[in-house]
Amino acid sequence: MSAVDDELSVDRAFLRHTLATLAYRGMKSLRGAPDGFGAFRAGPTSRTPLEILAHLADLLEWAHWMAQGVRKWPDPAERTWDEEAARFAAGLAKLDEFLAGPAALGNEAKKIFQGPIADGLTHVGQLNYLRRLADAPVRGENYFVADITTGIVGPEQPPPNREFD
């Protein structure tokens, strides 16, 4: 294996771990969300949690297409909270499966990270903040010791190791 192949392998492994991190944190922000949370609006011009979740799912579709070298953005559609949560999980799984496979990346790994994946982490933080504003906070956690495992990107995530009171 050449130095370039080694670097690409490391890049893909890092991308897959960031997806697992996004899944762990994202699923934690979705778990236990109260009924009606998707429609919560912190201010007159703020996005609702449902709009943020839909954007997260869009970002993962976009990332999957970027990984394949396709320039495309998902078509807008109105969905429910549960539908968008399922689309978020499916997007994580689809992108992780592609990254685990043999197909060449159609864009640089760092571009895929700095665009949709980093944006996704930001939006998970927004969901957590909105949960707090809606009186349904997500408990803080020491994510350094969390059981985040590459390839585990679905709704079923390990329980937290060290949440804060």
Along the 165 residues of the chain, how does pLDDT read in single tens digits?
555 455 558 999 999 999 999 999 999 999 999 999 999 999 999 999 999 999 999 999 999 999 999 998 888 899 999 999 999 999 999 999 999 999 999 999 999 999 999 999 999 999 999 999 999 999 999 999 999 999 999 999 999 999 987
The predicted structure's pLDDT at residue 76: 87
* Pick from 93, 94, 86: nearest CA to 68: 94
Residue 101 in tokens:
């496979």
The domain that holds 86 is classified in CATH as 1.20.120.450
Please give the helix or strand (H or E) that residue 89 lies within, else none. helix 81-100
CA distance 32 to 137: 9
Distance CA 66, CA 69 (A): 5
DSSP classification of residue 96: H
**Closest alpha carbon to 88 in 26, 143, 159:** 26
Rounded Cα gap, residues 133 and 46, in angstroms: 13
In-domain check, residue 151: no
Measured between alpha carbons, how far is 79 from 103 in angstroms, rounded to an integer?
31
Q: Is 162 part of any domain?
A: no
Give the domain range for residue 46. 3-145
Residue 158 maps to a domain: no
What is the predicted pLDDT for the residue at 1?
52
pLDDT one-digit tens code per residue, 148-158? 999 999 999 99
Residue 163 lies inside a defined structural domain of this protein = no
Residue 155 domain flag? no
Q: Is residue 160 part of a domain?
A: no
What's the residue count for the chain? Answer: 165
pLDDT in tens, 132-150: 999 999 999 999 999 999 9
3-state SS assignment for residue 16:
helix
- Angle, alpha carbons 34-37-63 (nearest 5°): 110
The number of domains in the chain is 1
Amino acid 49 reads: P
Q: Whole-angstrom Cα distance, residue 103 to residue 95?
A: 12
Residue 131 lies in a domain: yes
Which pLDDT score, from 0 to 100, does residue 7 have? 54
**Contact between 148 and 96 (Cβ < 8 Å):** no
